[in-house]
Amino acid sequence: MTPRRVAISICAAAVAVVGAALAGVGYVIARRLTVPATARRYDLAIRAALRHGEHDAVVMDRGPGTTAPGVYNVWLEDGGWAQVGAVVGEGPDTVTRIVLATRPVGALREGRRASWSAVYYESPGDAGHDAEEVSIATSAGPTPAWVVHSPEGTGAHWAVHIHGLGSRRAGTLRGVDVATRQGLTSLVVSYRNDREGQVTGSGRPTLGAAETDDVRAALRYARARGARSFTLIGWSMGAAIALQLAADAEFRGAVDALVLDSPVIDWTATIKANCARAGLPSWFGLLARPWLRIGPLARVVGLEASVPLERFDWISRAAELSVPTLILHGVQDSSAPFADSQRLADLRPDLVQLESFESEHTMTWNSDSERWQRAVGEWLAALG
């Protein structure tokens, strides 16, 4: 073999090795993105429970979440929770926050392990609402939901609350109060592979592709109970699902408004952002696309079917948006890019109103709950 042919062979082998390595990276990212929902991680230590002036307070490990302004929940590993508010003290490794409520009383004790969360309520009762527990028939099997009735409503206009990837329906209870005050009946849904709905296949989420079918079934359920119009309130991936249903011919004219918190506007941009958050080059996110979009590769990842990422690109589909849309998004969001929401608002100023918050992903309500509720309430009222 001539030296030239040897060099060509070496280059070809190197390209093949690099290509295989990049393909492997894409596979790992796709697997990580669609990992089955897992239980909470209790990686926060309670250092002390004490009094601060006239209030109870808790001393915890310091971190990006625990120092954020606003109200949050501390879920305790062996049961119970504590709702916490303002930061009243900080040290090199600790932060002290006011305790607003606990369950059970006295649950906070030194040495307990906890999980920091924007999910503020555990049940409708915690949020001050009586709820009806119902079961919705879906193609995957029955899935649980809550129905919260409004004393001012007729039952003809429903708000459907849709949680995001890795979360559960309790996370959307933050939006039920404002919907109830506007006279809407609230349907708080779950869907397949979210630890409450049915487990299908390997238990991996499909980024909204199959989950949309379960929420579609929820809208049909509401119609059977007298709903004539819908406001869809979606968080993160739940917002992506809401956008799909608003464009669904079955509900054209019935979905009259969207409220989207920290929305996934374009999965490709979101995957790239999450790569950057993990310390990887953002363009690595492109390597995951074939593993999600191509059927045989998606099945290797563990999905039952491919994910049509182009259907979830609402920058490209902006002209198809047809209902008034309120977006609430944190400028510090490292998961679903704020820039995508800004871009959609710029493309469709006739329909999209964007409210920005100084917060991370799905923490807009927590960062300023009064402003969040006022913005949503006034916007819904203006729509009539």
DSSP 338-369: HHHHHHHHHH-TTTEEEEEES-STT-HHHH-H
Predicted pLDDT of residue 7 = 45
331 within domain boundaries: yes
CATH number of the domain within which 352 lies? 3.40.50.1820
233: Cβ–Cβ under 8 A, 6 or more apart, which residues?
Answer: 159, 160, 161, 162, 172, 175, 179, 242, 258, 259, 260, 261
Residues 62 and 206 occupy one common structural domain: no
Predicted pLDDT of residue 272 = 96
Residues 69 and 204 occupy one common structural domain: no
Task: Give 126: exposed, middle or buried? Use CB within 10 Å, 0-12, 13-18, 19+.
Answer: middle
Predicted pLDDT of residue 152 = 85
Predicted pLDDT of residue 153 = 84
Q: pTM here?
A: 0.93
Residues 205 and 259 occupy one common structural domain: yes
Residues 249 and 145 occupy one common structural domain: yes
The tokens describing 358, both together, are: 């100084």
Of the candidates 70, 88, 117, which is a domain's last residue?
A: 117
Positions of the chain with pLDDT under 50: 6-19
| CB atoms near residue 61 (< 10 Å) | 16
Residues 179 and 238 occupy one common structural domain: yes
Instruction: Give CA–CA dist 382/384, Å, rounded.
Output: 5
Residues 111 and 144 occupy one common structural domain: no
Site of tokens 């093949």: 16
306 within domain boundaries: no
Instruction: Give CA–CA dist 180/175, Å, rounded.
Output: 9
Of the candidates 88, 117, 146, which is a domain's last residue?
A: 117
Contact (Cβ atoms closer than 8 angstroms) between residue 326 and residue 253 = no
261 within domain boundaries: yes
Of the candidates 117, 148, 164, which is a domain's last residue?
A: 117
Residues 220 and 369 occupy one common structural domain: yes
Residues 68 and 203 occupy one common structural domain: no
The tokens describing 252, both together, are: 């054209």
User: pLDDT for 108-122, tens place per residue?
Assistant: 999 999 999 999 999
- Residue 326 domain boundaries: 132-278+311-383
Instruction: Give CA–CA dist 359/347, Å, rounded.
Output: 24
Q: Number of structural domains, the chain?
A: 2
Predicted pLDDT of residue 19 = 46
